[in-house]
Amino acid sequence: MIWILNGEKLLTYCSIEYEYEEYFVSIEVPTYIPNMPNYDYDYLRDELLEQSFIKEIERHKHYRETSVINGVYFVFFFDKDIDFNSLISKLDKEILNFTHGIYPEHGEDIWLHFEINYKSSSKDRFYDIRFTKQHWRKFINEMKAPLFIDNLKGLDNGLLYWYNERKIVKKSVFLKKYLSHT
């Protein structure tokens, strides 16, 4: 026997927060270059986004979306692991050429202030799970069978919170596992 509780109805005041693993490469555009009064961050940023090597990233078969954070960080998300080392190597060369094209005398100085990073890890792995119980129903703690919570505030569609194990699981994985027992 298993229990699945509807968090939307039974646990209205409870919530969950969590982090998950992702695949992305980020470019930080320098907002200021010391000893370079004619440096124009806005122009450089706008021109960077129009470059063919950036458009090439957006055409990659595993590209998902771009997020701009504080107007400084450009984060390119992918739906699976790719060869980030070669992508970063290519971006490094392209950004050097790009900065030389805009600022021929100071291109390398500007290029040295760019930061390129990546993160490569599975989105199926959840960590730092924080479940907040408010107006908790005491009978829930008495349940011995596996207990799953659906529609919990803060939990993405397609996921369940496995209360007994303090884990987040995909509904599709849950259904495959438990439907095979019926």
Same domain, 16 and 27: no
* Domain end point (choices 100, 120, 140): 120
Helix (H, G, I), strand (E, B) or coil at 27: strand
Among 93, 126, 92, 102, CA closest to 36: 102
Query: Residue 151: left if φ>0, alpha if ψ -120 to 50, beta else—which one?
Result: left
Please indicate, yes or no, whether residues 35 and 68 belong to a single structural domain of this protein. yes
Number of domains in the chain: 2
- Residue pair 61/83 in contact by the 8 Å Cβ criterion: no
**Are residues 130 and 15 in contact, defined by beta-carbon separation less than 8 angstroms?**
no
Residues 46 and 91 in one domain: yes
Last residue of a domain, one of 120, 147, 165: 120
> Do 53 and 14 have their domain in common?
no
Same domain, 51 and 31: yes
- pLDDT tens profile 163-174: 998 888 888 888
pLDDT at 122: 60
| pLDDT tens per residue across span 97-143 | 999 999 999 999 999 999 999 987 665 667 678 899 888 888 888 88
Q: Is the pLDDT of residue 151 over 90?
A: yes
- Do 175 and 91 lie in one domain? The reply is no
| Residue 95 in tokens | 């950004």
Which domain, by its residues, includes 106?
23-120
Distances (CA, A) of 128 to 16, 31, 162: 10, 32, 14
